[in-house]
Amino acid sequence: NSIIITLDELSSYVLAIKQKFPKVNIKLLSMSKAQQMAFGHFILPNAYQLGIKHINNNYLVIKKWISYLQKGINPKTNHEIDQFYNLLNQNNLIITNENYKYLFKNKKVFIIGIDKDNTELKHLIEKLEINQSQISYITTDDLFPEIKVPVTKYSLISLEVKDALYKIIDLIQNKHVSPKDIVICTNNDECCFYLKLFAKELKINLKFQENQTLFDTPFARVVFNHLNQNSIDFLDSLKTNDEIARKIIKQVFIDYHLMEIQDKTILKLNYASILKDIPYNQQEENDKEFIIVLKNKYFHPYKHIFYLSLTNSSFNVVSKDNDLLPDKIKKVNYLQDSNELNKTNSNLCKSF
C-alpha cells in the first residue's frame, strides 16, 4: 500500500498513468486534498457567506483567508482571520479528523513534482507525522523526461492557428482520434480570436474554458450594469431567455447578502468574483463532440495537446510580494512566499 501526493496541476496527469495499472494499490492525493486532511475541510459556500455577513464584506478577502487556513496558517497571526476561524468553528463549518494521520502510518509515500524544501510540504509532513524514511521524491524532471516534440515558429498567429486546426482535422479524420482526446492551450487573446474564426469556417467544434462560469452569461452582464438598484426586485424586471441564470443569480444575492453592501465598488467586485466561481455550462451538446480550449497549463500522458503562441512567459505567471499577507509573515506561518511560488511554477513550465 502506497500513497502519492502531487501538485494539483499534475493530478490529472498522474491519475491517467495510475489508471493504466488498476491492480496496483496506490492512493492518489492532490496537495490541496492532503492539506484538507491535515488542517481541516471548510464547508463552502457557507463559510464564504458567513464571513461576508459578519467579518469582512469583501468576498476575495474571505476566499484568501480560507486558502491560508486550508494550508495550515496559525489563525492568531491576524486578528480578523482569528475572528473568522472562531466563527466558522462555532457554526460547525470546519471538519477536522485527527485520525487522517494514521492513513499514512507505515505507508510508502511518493511526493511528485513538489520540491522537498517546499515550506507547505514540510508543514504537511510534520502535521501528518510522516517519517522521512517513508518518503520518495519524484521531481518534474523525473516525471517528464526530455521528449522531442515538434515545435514550429510562425510569422503570424493566424497562420499558426490555421495550421494547428488542419493538423487536428487530420488527427480526427485520418487517425480516428476522438475530439475529446484533443486539447488546445493558449492564453493569447489574438490566438483565441482566430481559433473562433477559423473553427467556424472549418466546422470544428471548440469549447472555451472561459465560457463556463455564470458571470459569462449575457444575463449576468446585464445585471452587472444595473447594480445601482436598492432592491433585489430589479432582477425580475430585466429581460432574458435564460431563466436558470436569473434564478441562480437571485439566490446569490440572497445567500451572500449583496444588497446589504453599501459600497457599490465592493458590491460589483463581490458580484463578479462570486459568479466567476460558479460553473455554468450553457452548451447542451455532448462534450465528446468538442475540443476543449484551455487558458491554463494542462498535462495528460495520453491526449494530443496543442500549445499555441507559446513563449517563455506564456504560462509562467510571476508572483510578487503583494499578497494579502506579505512574504515575511508567510515565512513564519508555513506558507509559500512569492519566491517559492515562482520556483514551483517555473518547474511546471519547464515540463513543456
- Find, among 215, 247, 204, 323, the residue nearest to 331 by Cα: 323
Nearest-5° angle of CA 64, CA 69, CA 75? 105
**Beta partners for 4?**
28, 110
Q: What is the dihedral of CA 35, 30, 207, 155, to 10 degrees?
A: 110
Average pLDDT score, the chain: 90
**CA-CA distances (angstroms) from residue 292 to 55, 128, 180, 188, 192?**
39, 37, 7, 15, 12
User: Looking at residue 20, what is its pLDDT?
Assistant: 84
Report the predicted TM-score, pTM, of the whole model to 2 decimal places: 0.81
Mean pLDDT in residue range 171-183:
94
Higher model confidence: residue 101 or residue 85?
85
Helices (H), 139-214: 140-143, 157-174, 189-202
- 184 pLDDT exceeds 60? yes
In the three-class reduction of DSSP (H, G, I as helix; E, B as strand; rest coil), residue 250 is classed as helix
Encode pLDDT of 21-58 as tens digits. 888 889 999 999 999 999 999 999 999 999 999 998 89
Kindly state the percentage of the chain with pLDDT values over 90: 69
C-alpha cell at 210: 472561459
- Find, among 193, 196, 238, 245, the residue nearest to 216 by Cα: 245
Pairing of strands 135-138, 108-112: parallel
What is the C-alpha separation between 337 and 331, in angstroms, rounded? 6
What is the C-alpha separation between 236 and 263, in angstroms, rounded? 23
Encode pLDDT of 124-166 as tens digits. 999 999 999 999 999 988 887 765 667 788 889 999 999 999 9
Mean pLDDT in residue range 269-296:
81
Mean pLDDT in residue range 205-234:
88
Q: Report the interhelical angle of 31-39 vs 119-127 (nearest 10°).
A: 50
Encode pLDDT of 306-338 as tens digits. 989 876 555 566 678 989 999 999 999 999 999
